[in-house]
Structures are given as structure tokens and as C-alpha cells.
DNA sequence: CGTTTGTGGTCAAAGGTCAG
DNA sequence: TCTGACCTTTGACCACAAAC
């Protein structure tokens, strides 16, 4: 693209002697020969001369023999290497060609200024506008799945079933018939009539959110291929963290320390003496490690969907090595897309900050998962809180011996 | 001049790998990508990818997909705000400096001077912005500090002292006199004469690595300002993870399941019946959750230094809210710096993959921290393993009552 | 006060378009 | 179909100002 010294508009195309429009592929040449050369190379076209391979080539008859025209292009020095890789199509929406000008002798030197001379001053955008990307296909899937899960959470639907039934039955979230029938809010779940939470509310929402967790798990394609024992372990490992995440994110913001459930039950930093000390402590962890950071970062629903998936797909669960590998790969893929999404949304500076904070929350989630299981176990064992059979299956396995093993392993 | 070790790609455009002409909008880049980025922003252009939004972008085909090219510009960190927003026909803003040059100490990474103590940052961070700008040097500081720590680990030096003495005494790693005197390898610590590990070896290396942990902790400038109780909690929380990290990273690669200590003691996946079941299980976790991933990712020493700091600066420890905040900010700053380093080293695609895998390891570390404390407690309580007083202080606190509280809280 | 660095602008020369 | 006048995009190079 360095202007060749000494070129003037009077120069002629070295191929056909037409008026040259500049240097093309290293040679002063006209538009026609330039385009002809490029097309020939790009389409790898081969020509054959009908005569003696020495046809004359000039402006009037340059189209007569393509073989000899191309030969001439090469002879005068057109350089194949000056061709570039195909570019993206521009796709003109409409023909913006100027009104054909009458050709005159002097217009060629002065015409530029009329249209090009005073372009309006282009200024950068004042504010960053939304640049949402379609590149994050998986994120969109996760996000709409999250929407369905929330619809179901607000509904009345809550089946009684064993853990095995829950994990092996047909997925509901991806079933349009089911969702049409049940996926609308219950009148009781409209976040109205606030009242302080009671034991029965905790139970109700834990049961609901554990039910939702099993459906959420099944909504991952990879999940169906895992051995049953891995499914149980994965859901068990997420048994505390996912409900906590869901409860925090879906709570309307009624102050920094308040979590509201859809039926209006709420809790805050109030110490509840009737609950085991461990569960009170977990409540504070939930406020400090999840609610506050998520509000600080201002996690949006796409980011939430991704982070929830990252939290669920935890290779630290006690599953087979093959399942660990699959889960890790899935997790990394989501993490990468999440980063891309955040960069597009906020720009690199802010995105890297928010991304780091969000991803580093996963270590807090792990801590909660680990400690809470212990606390739940102790709560049940010593306080006789009375979990449902489903919850006991979820956390403790099918029999008491297994529990003992877990406690001391 | 600070040598640019590890920044081998600095002369290449991070977007397309063409020769970079300098930093543009915050990123080493070529003229083409620079101009492309500016034009896209100025003209508010939106592109659509014809494929899967993951087109490769390099010198030869960078024009093939403008969507993916622009996406990559953002990914590698091109900053929209670096475009000048002035309404004047020509407006210039302040240049964006990438490395503050005012600090003149630079012995950190020079070759032979490893015995010299690591200088800490001279001025404490007054604002988040200052932390960020200084953090360009932060990885270098962490990396050379790590070198000192390893020198001390290989030495003979191992004082007997209480936890309080350890945490409140003068930092040794940054003391050139001390490091000159003691920071050279012991003859016994040369990784020769392999032999299977014994109980006494475990004890010896745990004691060494706990000693090193306290010195490592003190090497953080923020650490000295924490209340004593927070210091204890922070070190306690890192009591398992940091030694495990150090042992894995510094072990020569003698196969996928083998960890070798400097004196030649090694362990592998062999079940050791004489050890408590919990500690055997932790050993497997160490191999699966730390050794294997670190070798898969091929963590280099700068990345290791950063990840170790991220692991140590864990806001999940039971410390005051103010300390949590300080630690989180420090952690996030290191994380951002680590990401930048990896992008410079590997390019965006590989870096994002490796970064995600590495950062997500922090949740495994949290799990280990949580479960291991429990296992250590049980090991001591039931198996009478016989930890030193120092270890007991580290893990269980000063008195038995505190232990009981922790167990059931 | 000169050098280095990173802005924005320029325009020759690439590639793409579509009536003829 | 192929052609080529016309159009858009690209990037090497330049001037300028701020930082060093």
C-alpha cells in the first residue's frame, strides 16, 4: 500500500494500455485487468488459447482471449502474492452508486472534493451501549433454562417421590407440555405479605428447591449419561449451594441482610435461637459469602445462570474419574463463555474485575458445600430436626451405615 | 531495567500475531488491528458472524470475520475508553501508562541475586487504582518471594517457636542478611536417594512447611496490619492447602502419582495402612485435585506464585469483615494480573483455557482446606498421631475448649 | 530540551458489488 | 456467465502531544 513513486493518472495499464487507476498487484493497471487478475487467481481458472498463444491484448480486444490476457498480466509483473485471503462479504443493502457523471476532461482532477471533502465529524459513542453477543450460545441455553426453573419454582407443583425417581424420571424443564401446564406462578408465590420465616417455611422451601435441583440436574445433557451413583453424588454435593444461590438471587432486594422467599417468608441477620447453632452460622455465611457479593457485583441473569452451572458442575464431588473429566471440561467451557459475555457487556477493565470476583466466589461455595453437609448431618443427628425422607436420601444416602462411614472418612 | 522474563510475545499483536507496532488501546498490537478497533468504535459498527462466533483470527485471515476480530480485540483487552472522546477536531488525552517506572528497586528477578531478600512495595496502596497500577509489578514480587521461600525450604533452618512468636517476629524472607546466612540448600535436600516416605518424614516436612507458611504469611505487607486473631485464622485456614501446593509444585516429575520431597522421601498412590483412613484419603485428593491438574496445565513459576497467593488470601477464613475486604481486593488484583500475564504468555485462546482451569482449582483447594482440617482434627483426636505443639496451636487453637466449639459449630 | 510512545488522520491499494 | 465501474475496507505511514 505504499504509494509507488512517480505514478500519475496519465499512466496506462501495462496490460491493455487503458487508463490505469493505480498500481494493482505491483503494476500500473486498469480496473478491468486488476479484477480479471484477482478473479482468475482466486477461482483457480485455467484458460486455453484458440490461436497461437500470442493474441494481442489492448483495451479494445482485451476480452477476446483470456489465456493471453492472463499471460500478459503475469508478463508485466502482476504478483500473485499480493492477493489477500477472502474478506467477509460487505453486503450492500442498496446500490449507493452516485449519479453517473458526464465524463469530462478536467473532472478527474477535481471531482473528489465535492463529496469527500466535508464528512461529518465522527465522534466515539458517549456511553458504552449494549453489545450482547450471539457467540454465547451455551449461555443463552443456560439462561432460558434458568427462566423455566424459576417458573417452576414459583408454581404449585411439588411431587412426592424418592431420590431415584427424581433422578431417573423424564426431565420436566425441557418438556413444553409440562411447562405449559404447570409453569405459571402460584397465587401464594408473589412475594407479597412479608412475614418472618418459620421452621415450616424453611422445610417447604428446602423441599421445593431440592426438587428443583433434581430437575435442574437432569436438564444438563451430559447428566443423563452418568452412572446413577455419580448422579446422586453430584446432586448431593450441590444440595446446599444451589438452593442458597437460587434463594439469594431470586430474593427481591429488601436490604443487605434480608432474603425473601416467594411466599413472603423472609429471614435476616436475626439470631434464631430455636435453630441449631450450625444452621444459624450457615445463614450468616449465606448472607456474607453469597448475598452480599452477588449484590456488590450486580450479577445479571445470564451471569447467574452461568455461575449456577459452574457451581453445580463441581468435579470435587465424589464421582468417577471419567465423570470428573467431563464435568471439568463442561465447567471450563462455561467459564470461558461467561468471560466473553462479561467482556462484551462491560469492557475488559470492569469485566475482568467482576469476573474475578464472581469466579473466586466458587471457592466460597465449595467451603459452604463442605461445611454445610456436616452441619446438616449434625443438625439431623443431634437435633432431630425431622427432614423428609427425600432430604435424608439426598444428604445421607440410603442407609445409616453409609452415614457413619461418611462422617469419619 | 526489569527483564521481561516470560513476556516473550510482547512483540506480537495479541489479536492476530502479526508484528506489533507498540501498545494500542492498552494492548500490544499491529497497525491493522489498532485501526480496525478504532474505526469499529468510532463508527459504532456492529458485525455478525457467519459461523459459530469462534473464527480463528491471525495475520493471514484477520479480515475474514470482522465480528470475531473485534471480539478478539476486546478479549485481549483493548480498551474503548482509550479512544479520545473530545469533541475538538483533534483532542489528546493522557497516555495510558502500563508500567509505572518510578520505583527503582529491581533486584527481584535478576539472575544471581536470588539470595537477596525480596523488597516489598515501598508505598502502601492508598486507593484501589494504585493497587492496580502497582500490581503490574506484583507478580514479579510474588515470584521472587517464592524463590526466596524455596531457598529457605531447601535450607537447614528450622526454628522452634510458638505460633505467636512465628507470626509476630520479624519477617525473614525479606531480610537480606538472614537470607544470605541461611538461604542455601542443605546437603540433605537435593532430591537424591529416593526412599519411600515414613511417618517421621511426614512430620519433618509438615513442620518445615508450616514454618515456611508463617514466613510466607508475613511477607505480605497487608498481613502485618491484621489483628493477631485474624493472622492466626488466616494461617490456620491455609495450613493444609499451602503446604500441599508447595509440595506438589516443587516435586520433580517422577510419574503422575508420585510426590518427592527434597530429602528424597516420596509417596505415591500406595495405600498406607499405618496412617488414618482420613489422611490416606487426603493424599489421594492431593494427587487428584492438585498434582494432576497442575501438571496438566503446566503451571509455570510465576503462575504458581500467583495461585499460591490467591490460595493463601482466602476470605473464607474466619476473620473480621474488614480483613475479608482487604484480602478480597488483594486477591482480585492478583487474579487480574495473573490473567494478563497468561494472555501475554500464551495468547488469548490458550490463556483463557488455562486461566479458567487454574482459577477453578481454587474451589478444590477450599474443599481440601475444609475437609482436611476436620481430618486432621480427627486424626489427632482418635489416632493420637502426636503433632507438635506448634501444629496443635496452628490447627486447634490454644486450648481444648476452643476445639470442642469448632467441632460442633 | 530531545526521545519515546501512543493517539488520530490519510489515502494507495486491497477486496466486494451488481447492472449491463 | 463474465466484465468492470464503482464502492467499502484496510493498514503503512505521518504529525502531534504527552510522558519520560
The residue that leads in pLDDT, B190 or B301, is B301
- Contact of A362 with B362, CB cutoff 8 Å: yes
Nearest CA in chain B to A310: B360
The mean pLDDT value for A99-128 works out to 36
- Report pTM: 0.74
Long-range contacts of the stretch A109-112 (C-beta < 8 A, 24+) = A109/A9
For residue B2, the model assigns a pLDDT of 32
Could you tell me which chain A residue has the CA closest to the CA of B128? Answer: A353
Between A87, A288, A363, which is nearest B362 by CB? Answer: A363
Judged against a pLDDT cut of 80, whether residue A18 lies above it is answered with: yes
Average pLDDT over chain B, rounded to whole? 78
**In the predicted model, what is the mean pLDDT of residues A164-190?**
88
What is the pLDDT, as a whole number, of residue A313? 96
- pLDDT tens, position by position, A265-324: 999 998 888 777 777 888 888 898 899 999 999 999 999 999 999 999 999 888 998 999
B128 touches strand D (CB under 7 A): no
Per CATH, the architecture of B135-408 is what? Orthogonal Bundle (1.10)
How many A-B residue pairs are in contact by the CB < 8 A criterion? 155
C-alpha grid cell, residue B141: 514480587
Asked if strand C contacts A38 at the CB level, meaning under 7 A, the answer is yes
* CB of A24 lies under 7 Å from some atom of strand C: yes
Q: Are the beta carbons of A281 and B371 separated by less than 8 Å?
A: no
- Split at pLDDT 50, 70, 90, the class of A397 is low
Contact A409 B277 (CB under 8 A): yes
Q: Does residue A396 or residue B54 have the better pLDDT?
A: B54
Measure the CA–CA gap between A290 and A273, rounded to whole angstroms.
Answer: 23
When pLDDT is cut at 50, 70 and 90, the band that residue A207 belongs to is confident
Q: Is the pLDDT of residue A100 over 90?
A: no
Contacts of B289 in chain A (CB under 8 A): 316
Q: Are B150 and B184 in contact (CB under 8 A)?
A: no
Report whether pLDDT(B8) > 80.
Answer: no
Instruction: Choose the weakest-confidence range: A36-45, B60-69, B76-85, B89-98.
Output: B89-98
Using a 7 Å CB cutoff, list residues 219-278 of A near strand D: none
If pLDDT is split at 50, 70 and 90, which confidence band does B397 have? Answer: low
For an interface test with A, give the residue of B288, B316, B329 to mutate (most A CBs within 10 A).
B316
The pLDDT assigned to A311 comes to: 96
DSSP output for A355-397: HHHHHHHHHHHHHHHHHHHHHHHHHHHHH-----HHHHHHHH-
User: Are the Cβ atoms of A360 and B75 closer than 8 angstroms?
Assistant: no
Nucleotide nearest to A35 (CA to C1'): D4
Per-residue pLDDT tens digits for B324-336: 999 999 999 999 8
Average pLDDT over residues B55-63: 90
* Residues 84-143 (A) near nucleic chain C, CB < 7 A: 84, 86-92, 94-95, 122, 124
Q: Element (H or E) spanning A22, and its range?
A: strand A22-24
C-alpha span between A220 and A327 (Å, rounded): 11
How close does chain A come to B71, measured CA to CA in Å?
Answer: 8
How far apart, in Å, are the Cα atoms of B262 and each of A408, B249, B265, B300, B302?
A: 32, 12, 7, 19, 21
Compute the half-sphere exposure of residue B358: CA atoms within 13 Å on the CB side of its CA: 29
Which of A134-143, B106-115, B311-320 is predicted least confidently?
B106-115
**Euclidean distance between CA atoms A362 and A307, whole angstroms:** 8
Strands (DSSP E) contained in B45-135 are: none
Sort out which chain A residues have CB atoms less than 8 A from B369's CB and list them.
367
Cβ of A22 near strand D (distance < 7 A):
no
Mean pLDDT of the region A26-32: 93
Would the pLDDT of B126 be above 50? no
Contact between B336 and A357 using a beta-carbon 8 Å cutoff: no
- Count of all residues that appear for chain B in the document: 409
Question: B201-210, pLDDT tens digit by residue?
Answer: 888 888 889 8
Residues 365-384 of B, Cβ under 7 A from nucleic strand C: none
CATH of domain B22-79+90-131: 3.30.50.10
Kindly report the bases of strand C lying within 7 A of a protein C-beta atom.
Answer: 5-19
Residue in A349, A356, A378 closest to B332 by CB = A356
- Give the pLDDT band (50/70/90) at residue A14: very high
Closest residue to C8 (CA to C1') is B90
**With 50 as the cut, is the pLDDT of residue A86 above it?**
yes
- Cα separation, A68 vs A50, in Å, equals 10
Across chain A, mean pLDDT equals 80
Q: What pLDDT shows up at residue A178?
A: 93
User: What percentage of chain B exceeds 70 in pLDDT?
Assistant: 76
Is-contact A289 A298, C-beta < 8 A?
no
Compare all CA atoms of chain B with the CA of A342 and give the residue at the minimum distance: B75
Beta strands in A238-321 (DSSP E): 259-260, 265-267
Check residues A30 and A102 and name the one with the higher pLDDT: A30
Task: Spell out which residues of chain A touch residue B283, defining contact as CB-CB under 8 Å.
Answer: none
Q: A112 pLDDT exceeds 60?
A: no
Q: In the structure, what pLDDT confidence band is assigned to residue B132 with cuts at 50, 70 and 90? A: very low
Q: What's residue B127's pLDDT?
A: 29
pLDDT-based confidence at residue B11 (cuts at 50, 70, 90): confident
Nearest residue to D4, CA vs C1'?
A32
pLDDT tens digits for range A301-318 = 999 999 999 999 999 888
- Of all nucleotides, the one whose C1′ comes closest to residue A66's CA is D2
Predicted pLDDT at B277: 72
**A82 CA – D10 C1', rounded, Å:** 14
* pLDDT score of A94: 52
Q: Which residue is nearest to nucleotide D7 (CA to C1')?
A: A97
Which residues from the 15-74 window of protein chain B have CB within 7 angstroms of nucleic acid chain C? 22-26, 31, 34-35, 38, 42
A345-375 pLDDT, tens digit per residue, is 887 878 888 999 999 999 999 888 887 666 5
- Domain B22-79+90-131 and domain B135-408, same fold? Reply is no
pLDDT surpasses 80 at B405: no
Q: What is the pLDDT of residue A133?
A: 42
Across A18-32, A270-284, B96-110, least confident range:
B96-110
Which chain A residue's Cα is nearest to B278? A409
Residue A375 has what pLDDT? 57
Chain B residues close to A245, C-beta within 8 Å: none
> Of A178-187, A311-320, B236-245, B325-334, which range is least confident?
A178-187
Nearest neighbour of A367 by CB, restricted to B41, B79, B316: B316
pLDDT band for position B282 (50/70/90)? confident
Q: Would you kindly state where each structural domain of chain B is located, as residue ranges?
A: 22-79+90-131, 135-408
As beta bridge partners, residue A27 has: A24
What digits encode the pLDDT tens for the residues B338-378? 998 888 788 788 889 999 999 999 999 988 888 766 655 54
Q: How far is CA A146 from CA A126, A135, A219, in A?
A: 33, 19, 10
**Does the beta-carbon distance from A339 to B356 stay under 8 Å?**
yes
Q: What is the mean pLDDT of residues B45-54?
A: 84
Residue A126: per-residue pLDDT: 37
Amino acid at each position: 500500500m505504499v504509494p509507488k513513486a512517480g505514478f500519475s493518472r496519465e499512466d496506462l495499464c501495462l496490460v491493455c494500455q487503458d487508463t490505469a487507476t493505480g498500481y494493482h498487484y505491483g503494476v500500473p493497471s486498469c480496473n478491468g485487468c486488476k479484477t480479471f487478475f484477482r478473479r482468475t487467481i482466486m477461482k483457480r481458472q485455467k484458460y486455453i488459447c484458440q490461436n497461437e498463444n500470442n493474441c494481442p491484448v489492448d483495451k479494445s480486444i482485451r476480452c477476446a482471449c483470456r489465456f493471453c490476457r492472463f499471460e500478459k498480466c503475469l508478463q508485466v509483473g502482476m504478483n500473485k502474492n499480493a492477493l489477500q485471503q477472502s474478506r467477509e462479504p460487505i453486503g450492500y443493502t442498496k446500490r449507493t452508486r452516485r449519479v453517473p457523471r458526464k465524463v469530462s476532461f478536467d473532472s478527474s482532477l477535481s471531482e473528489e472534493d465535492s463529496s469527500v471533502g466535508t464528512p461529518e465529524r465522527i465522534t466515539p459513542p458517549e456511553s458504552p451501549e449494549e453489545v450482547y453477543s450471539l457467540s454465547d450460545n451455551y449461555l443463552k441455553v443456560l439462561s432460558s433454562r434458568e427462566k423455566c426453573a424459576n417458573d417452576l419454582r414459583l408454581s404449585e407443583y411439588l411431587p412426592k417421590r424418592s431420590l431415584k425417581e427424581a433422578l431417573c424420571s423424564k426431565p420436566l424443564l425441557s418438556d413444553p407440555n409440562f411447562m405449559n401446564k404447570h409453569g405459571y406462578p402460584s397465587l401464594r408465590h408473589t412475594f407479597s405479605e412479608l412475614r418472618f420465616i418459620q421452621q415450616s417455611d424453611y422445610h417447604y422451601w428446602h423441599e421445593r428447591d431440592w426438587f428443583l435441583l433434581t430437575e435442574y440436574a437432569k436438564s444438563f445433557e451430559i447428566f443423563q449419561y452418568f452412572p446413577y451413583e455419580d448422579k446422586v453424588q453430584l446432586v448431593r454435593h450441590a444440595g446446599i449451594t444451589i438452593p442458597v444461590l437460587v434463594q439469594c438471587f431470586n430474593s427481591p432486594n429488601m436490604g443487605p441482610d434480608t432474603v425473601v422467599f416467594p411466599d413472603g417468608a423472609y429471614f435476616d441477620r436475626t439470631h434464631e435461637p430455636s435453630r441449631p447453632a450450625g444452621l444459624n452460622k450457615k445463614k450468616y455465611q449465606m448472607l456474607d459469602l453469597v448475598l452480599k457479593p452477588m449484590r456488590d457485583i450486580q450479577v445479571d441473569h445470564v451471569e447467574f445462570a452461568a455461575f449456577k452451572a459452574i457451581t453445580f458442575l463441581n468435579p470435587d464431588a465424589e464421582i468417577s474419574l471419567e465423570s470428573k473429566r467431563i464435568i471439568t471440561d463442561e465447567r471450563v467451557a462455561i467459564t470461558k463463555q461467561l468471560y466473553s459475555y462479561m467482556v462484551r457487556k462491560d469492557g475488559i477493565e470492569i469485566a475482568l474485575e467482576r469476573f474475578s470476583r464472581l469466579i473466586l466466589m466458587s471457592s466460597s461455595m465449595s467451603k459452604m458445600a463442605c461445611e454445610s453437609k456436616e452441619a446438616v448431618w449434625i443438625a439431623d443427628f443431634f437435633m432431630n430436626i425431622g427432614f423428609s425422607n427425600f432430604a435424608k436420601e439426598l444428604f445421607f444416602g440410603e442407609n445409616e451405615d453409609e452415614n457413619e462411614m461418611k462422617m469419619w472418612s
